[in-house]
Amino acid sequence: MNHKSAQTSVDKDWYLQDVGSILAHFKVSADQGLSSSQARKRHQQYGPNSIQSAGQRSIWQLLLAQFMDFMILVLIAAAIISGIFGDLTDTLVILVIVFLNAIIGFIQDYRAEKALEALRKMAANSARVRRDGELITIPVEQLVPGDIVILEAGNIIPADLRLIEVADFQVDEAPLTGESVAISKTTQALPGKVHALGDQINMAFKGCIVTKGRASGVCVAIGMDTEFGKIAALLQKDTDNKTPLQHRLTRFSKRLSLIILAVSALVFALGYLRGEPPVLMFLTAVSLAVAAIPEALPAVITVSLAFGAKRMVKSNALIRRLPAVEALGSVTTICSDKTGTLTQNRMSLEKILIAGKSYNTFPEANDATNDDNEDFWRLLGAALALNNDIEIDGDGKLLGEPTEIALYLAAQQSNYQKPELSRTMPRIGEIAFTSERKRMTTVHRVLQSLQGAKAEKPEIIAFTKGAPEVILDLCEDSLGENGRQPLHKKSIRQAVEQLAQQGYRVLAVAYREWNNLTPNELKIEANNIEQSLSFIALLALIDPPREGAQEAVAMCRSAGITPVMITGDHPATALAIAKRLGIAAEQDKVMGGEQLAQLSDAELKQAVLETAVYARVNPEQKIRIVESLQSHHQFVAMTGDGVNDAPALKKADVGVAMGKVGTEVAREAAQLVLLDDNFKTIVVAVREGRRIFDNIRKFIKYTMTSNTGEILTLLLAPLLGMPIPLLPIHILWINLLTDGLPGLALSAEPAERGVMQRPPRPASESIFAHGMWQHMIWVGLLIAVLSLSSFAWMNISSSTHWQTMVFTTLTFAQLAHVMAIRSERDSLFTLGILTNRPLLIAIMLTVALQLMVIYTPFLQTLFKTQALTLLELGVCSALACVVLIAVEIEKWLVRRGVLY
């Protein structure tokens, strides 16, 4: 069924139209809603109210992708050639390796897809609608244009709605606009022609959350036609970026293939010129090509990434695309959202200013020790506990505006309990907060004085809180710890300005009492209640940093990673938190969205090198920031949770979405999902990424050195007048045995010492940098010389087992080598032999299998081997140990700064 748009080009700007014309357009009554038949027809016409998944791959696509790697294609070609001209066993061994690699990769990719699907299902919800004149609850997918939707605090808005009724209604639009403060809504048509999403205050958008009040609205767009869906549609046009490892391996594979072809042709030509049979030399050349191909590399990479992904899940990081595991290790810049990632995503009361004095908290209701100030703190505690519209659901969760929740919790934690206070001071009226008034007042009958028996009990008391500039104009004096005193407005305004510059959201609290007046005699109107107030205190609130965030930022800096904050929040708040966390220094400044918009691409490219904090930015500007950083060859990780973050998540080298509060679109765009929404988890993931890259590099170092030894053994033997030292089956067995088990076990190697005290590897850096190619050549030559030395043993001992000795020495030498390269710098004896138990087990198993090939009659026939004497086996082992000693000497020279 085609999904037809719910809007026409004439009817897009719903916020400009009055409620009556919109209801007429959709042929619906606000009181009755759609009829069942209307809803059924529209569902058939417009389709389900759902967001189409961006980039989700089918099972067949996942499976086919496992065979698209260049190295795998080369390996399959080698298997075909080997099957045509050589032993069928060789072909079967190669194909088994390819198949096993594909199965491992498929399982891990499939698990990642299913895990994300589970997250998508967690975000599913229902909607309350009015149909046939009755309120019913339906699955969100069944919403249709024209439905009358009922909303209340705590609801996730199920579609784009034009509001038709509101009652003190506020919406958190951070998932769509990035604005961290809840927006008060209205029903009036807006003047003008064009309004930004954040200014469309008579609309409620899909995916946003109701924080306060109640409302009803008519559904004007569903699914992909919503603002939420439009951004999702844009994401589907982009393709995933390749990671540094993918770029490195692509270059490595192409160059290696050319080298293999050249060396194989050289061996064939040399043998042919020496008069060897052409068929024999062709088989030898094919064997050499098979020996040179690191067929276990794709499997090792996949398993390393899969194990890394599994470890990351335990640290609350869900990998959506396996290559992102390694890519995290190359990150040079982390662009992080503020709210929820670096901060706790909840407002907290941090300072109370009273008559020029600052307090971090106030004493508990039953713990005031000074009779002179006890009455004051009780009054303030009652104001915070009672002056709010907080509701508590059946699970005990607080529902309401974040600022009110913060004040409520501050009072509650200091033992000022709302239920108890409400019994002694029941609410008899309220004057609601509006964006125009910027204040809220609650009026209470006083049944029991807060000041005890020593003071006169007022009959009625009113608490007012709101913007300081508004509250101050309504006050005539102030109340301090020592009683009433003159109101010093100038000093209070200066304090408000200082707190705002420090990033705090500042509120003022005041009160008024009425004596000898009954509730029936008091008119609860703003003009009557909100005048001649007594100022109590300034309250400074902020979204505090997460626990461990400051340490995580410091770890980033020590690892050569630059943390950058990009937020839709207020510039002063963003800069204050950035300074507190160590992202920005005292002299740093914040760049706002308006300032950024005025910069050309060239100017922004220069500015990003000097800017650590961005505030009030829109989705397009986030992309510009990422692109400017990437133009300096920075490898950028970007965090986000809203639909507005999704394009930047897609553009970044590593997109990191929030798993708790993140939207479905953001998670689809990202490669990594933080299950705890914590910046610290990103740093843990970066450390894991570096460990994985190090281990992949160790495997390449190990397998390419081993293959170099095999190539040189086959190449040098004819040049030195020796017969072919290894048969094709020997080569395949060595590669399957030594590359497979020990190579896979290298993926379990712990992180190198100081892994987070070194700078990231440049994305353009060769995978063979830091002495790796030199190591491959000289150690490969050493392995070849030691293996061919077995041929010399034949002349000394008259042994006829020389080919089996070459075979065994080559195998044992590679096992000695893999133990030696567990660390690029530290000695094996410093690491400890038991610190990688899987590798130790793999080596023991490999030795056992090699001995079976030598001493089992059936396998002797298959592999054309002979049983070695104890002395001959000892010679093979001694020659292999030379490799371990030589590599330990190399690492000692590296530690002393002599090499590389």
- Which amino acid belongs to residue 359? Y
Alpha helix ranges (H) inside 530-586 = 549-558, 571-581
Task: Report in angstroms the alpha-carbon separations of 33 from 4, 145, 217.
Answer: 22, 11, 11
Task: Report in angstroms the alpha-carbon separations of 352 from 481, 823, 893.
Answer: 13, 55, 61
C-alpha 582, offset from chain centre: 21
For 249, residues 6+ apart whose C-beta sits below 8 A from its C-beta are 70, 71, 297, 301, 767
Residue 343 gets which letter from DSSP?
B
Task: Report in angstroms the alpha-carbon separations of 619 from 15, 54, 642, 662.
Answer: 22, 18, 10, 16
Q: How far, in Å, CA of 443 to CA of 427, rounded?
A: 6
Q: How far, in Å, CA of 183 to CA of 542, rounded?
A: 18
> For residues 489 and 472, is the Cβ–Cβ distance under 8 A?
yes
Of 160, 337, 645, 677, the active-site residue reads 337
> For residues 232 and 646, is the Cβ–Cβ distance under 8 A?
yes
For the beta carbon of residue 317, count every other beta carbon within 10 angstroms.
Answer: 27
Q: How far, in Å, CA of 618 to CA of 567, rounded?
A: 9
Token readout for 362 is 């106030």
Angle, CA 359 vertex, CA 358 and CA 360 arms, to 5°: 130
Helix (H) or strand (E) holding 332: none
For 475, residues 6+ apart whose C-beta sits below 8 A from its C-beta are 487, 510, 533, 534, 535
For the beta carbon of residue 831, count every other beta carbon within 10 angstroms.
Answer: 17
Task: Report in angstroms the alpha-carbon separations of 380 from 509, 629, 849.
Answer: 8, 49, 79
Alpha helix ranges (H) inside 452-509 = 468-473, 489-501
Residue 663 gets which letter from DSSP?
-
Residue 736 gets which letter from DSSP?
I
For 875, residues 6+ apart whose C-beta sits below 8 A from its C-beta are 790, 793, 805, 809
Cβ neighbourhood burial of 1 (10 Å; 0-12, 13-18, 19+): exposed
- Which amino acid belongs to residue 292? A
Q: How far, in Å, CA of 446 to CA of 125, rounded?
A: 43
Q: Phi first, then psi: what are they for 210, rounded to 5°?
A: -80, 125
Can 337 be counted among the known catalytic residues? yes
Q: How far, in Å, CA of 546 to CA of 679, rounded?
A: 8
Cβ neighbourhood burial of 845 (10 Å; 0-12, 13-18, 19+): middle
Q: Phi first, then psi: what are they for 348, rounded to 5°?
A: -140, 135
> For residues 487 and 476, is the Cβ–Cβ distance under 8 A?
yes
Token readout for 736 is 């399957």
Distance linking the first and last C-alpha atoms of the chain:
64
Secondary structure (3-state) at 151: strand
Handedness of CA 530, 534, 535, 541 (dihedral sign): negative
Q: How far, in Å, CA of 658 to CA of 664, rounded?
A: 10
- Which amino acid belongs to residue 861? T
Axis-axis angle for helices 278-292, 70-85 (nearest 10):
150
> For residues 699 and 836, is the Cβ–Cβ distance under 8 A?
no
Task: Enumerate the active-site residues.
Answer: 337
